[in-house]
Structure 1
Amino acid sequence: MAAVSETPAADRASTAEELLAVDSIHTYYGQSHILFDLSLSIDRGEIVALVGRNGAGKTTTLRSVLGLTPPAEGTIAKDGEPIDGLEPYEIRKRGISWVPEERRVFGGLTVEENLRLAASTGEGDQSDGFEDVYERFPRLDERRSQKAGTMSGGEQQMLAIARALLGPETDVLLLDEPSEGLAPQIVDDVADIVRELNEEEGVTILLVEQNAEMALELADHAYVLENGRIVHDSPAAELLADREAMEGYLGVK
């Protein structure tokens, strides 16, 4: 099995600009210690995959970055500026957006109403953003007046991603289990959306995903989380090719 990198993630050598740095954080739920001395870094323009078994602490890592479950120790910085200690709405204004697990769209509202709620968190006229969203997601354009709760899981995932891109400009998109509960063909469609956002729009992405093979095929770099600790840190392609590590860490044969 591949060994964990001996170099701290925050010091990972790169020719690119470091955009997000998580350094030695410890996060708790009440008295329960969930994340232990966790460090990772993301360079501008990268897709970074955070993979691991259920209960490893992947969602807690995203919640720590977002300020929803602030770390008790350690630091988090974007563009070299500390963001730990800020309120979630302040972190959103700094360009970090989130697509939560299970999508969490407002089922009783139409597609357009869901998008207008997201756009209302920004400043100024958001109409141009709406047209960009409908151009990128033509299915949502077709469903403008449809209640979100009546759409398929794949359509709801498109809506959740589109919603996250409205409001303040997004530099870093945190994606939590975007393939969960979707049919294989729809998973491929969501993967294409993630790839296009990164390659065409330049959005930096931290991807938490139970479907490890999909995540690693998309990602530039990968971290494996196990019991709240980073146990593997390498280029994504290197981990994907290491079948012993894939089975040992992730149960993928």
Structure 2
Amino acid sequence: MTDRRAADRLLTVDSINTHYGESHILFDLSLAVDSDEIVALVGRNGAGKTTTLRSIMGLTPATDGTITKNGDPIHDLDPHEIRKRGLSWIPEERRVFGSLTVEENLRLAAHSGAGDQSDTFEEIYEQFPRLDERRTQKAGTMSGGEQQMLAIARALLGPETDLLLLDEPSEGLAPQIVDDVVDIIRELNESGVTILLVEQNAEMALELADRAYILETGEIVHESAAADLLDDRETMEGYLGVK
């Protein structure tokens, strides 16, 4: 694991093992995310990337090892308690409530937070003007890019988020829409949200990220600055199939 100052470390995953039934998926996996970083977790399909995020969020708890946020253990907490600690997860395929309007999706998320969130709610519309234009539109009738914007906006409501886990945000999106999503991720990070990004589009992820890990069959096999990995074509081709 990278030797970084503990004061900067927001999330530490230390030697976790995770199983689905009798299937062993993650093997002594360790990674760290520091405040204000974008960290990319890349790997081939089936490498265990989504399982890593699910383990961090307590949805598929690790069978051993530790996960800490700001030095405090969270691996034994229920998912809703982990959410209260400032972690938010946007799953693959976005999973918005298609039969509800944009506003209903957002109000449902806002309702899970403590206190009056009216100011934050209006800030979301300022940050995502396309959603403001579609307040009364059913989410299921929007484009994939608009649904991804809604999923990101929804994750920022409720308990305050300082660490966002993003799972395949570019999946199924047209290249121009991917560029829009990349801009949103950058803006979020610049506003103070730390991001752990799982992404099949490795080049896109590495262009966004500060650091990167490669996951292969449940094990971390490479860690470096994202820019260094992007320039290392041998490693990119060997582990990710990117020439």
Bin the TM-score by the shorter chain: over 0.9
* Structure 1: distance between partners of 2:160 and 2:89: 12
- CA separation of 1:186/1:16 partners in 2, compared to 1, >3 Å: closer, same or farther? farther
Q: 1: distance between equivalents of 2:5 and 2:99?
A: 46
Aligned to 1:20: 11
**What SS does the aligned partner of 1:140 have?**
helix
Q: Distance in 2 between matches of 1:179 and 1:93?
A: 27
| Residue aligning to 1:189 | 180
| Amino acid aligned to 1:193 | I
Cross-structure match for 1:112: 103
Matches within 5 A, 1:175-186: 175-186=166-177
Query: Which of 58, 66, 69 is residue 75 of structure 1 equivalent to?
Result: 66
| Deviations, residues 63-108 of structure 1 (Å, cap 9, x unaligned) | 0000000000100000000000100000000000011100000000
1:142 aligns with 2:133: yes
2-side partners of 1:16 and 1:184: how far apart?
38
Partners of 1:172 and 1:205 within 8 A in 2 = yes
Q: How does 1:89-108 map to 2 (within 5 A)?
A: 89-108=80-99
Instruction: Report the AA paired with residue 152 of structure 1.
Output: S
Assess if the C-alpha contact under 8 Å between 1:12 and 1:41 holds in 2. no
Query: 5+ unaligned residues in a row in structure 1: which ranges?
Result: 1-8
1:205 to 195, 199, 223: 195
Q: How does 1:1-253 map to 2 (within 5 A)?
A: 9=1, 11-14=2-5, 17-199=8-190, 201-253=191-243
In the superposition, the TM-score normalised over structure 2's length comes to 0.99
Instruction: Write the distance in 1 (CA, Å) between the matches of 2:237 and 2:229.
Output: 11
Distance (whole Å) between structure 2 residues aligned to residue 28 and residue 129 of structure 1? 38
SS in 2 for 1:167: coil
TM-superposed deviation, 1:126: 1.2
What is the distance in 2 between the residues matched to 1:138 and 1:16? Answer: 36
| Number of equivalent positions | 243
Between the aligned residues of both structures, percent identity stands at 79
Residues 225 and 232 of structure 1 are in contact (CA less than 8 Å); yes or no, is this contact kept in structure 2? yes
Counterpart CA distance in 2 for 1:216 and 1:156 is 23
After TM superposition, the score normalised by the length of structure 1 is 0.95
1:162 Cα deviation from its structure 2 partner? 0.2
In the alignment, residue 51 of structure 2 is paired with which amino acid?
T
Q: 1:236 to 1:14 in 2, by over 3 A?
A: farther
Matched residue type, 2:228: E
Q: CA separation in 2, counterparts of 1:84 and 1:120?
A: 25
Worse overlay, 12-21 or 53-62: 12-21
Distance 2:202 2:3 in 1: 22
Deviating 4+ runs (over 2 angstroms): 11-16
TM-align CA RMSD: 0.9
Distance, in Å, in 2 between the alignment partners of 1:23 and 1:82 is: 11
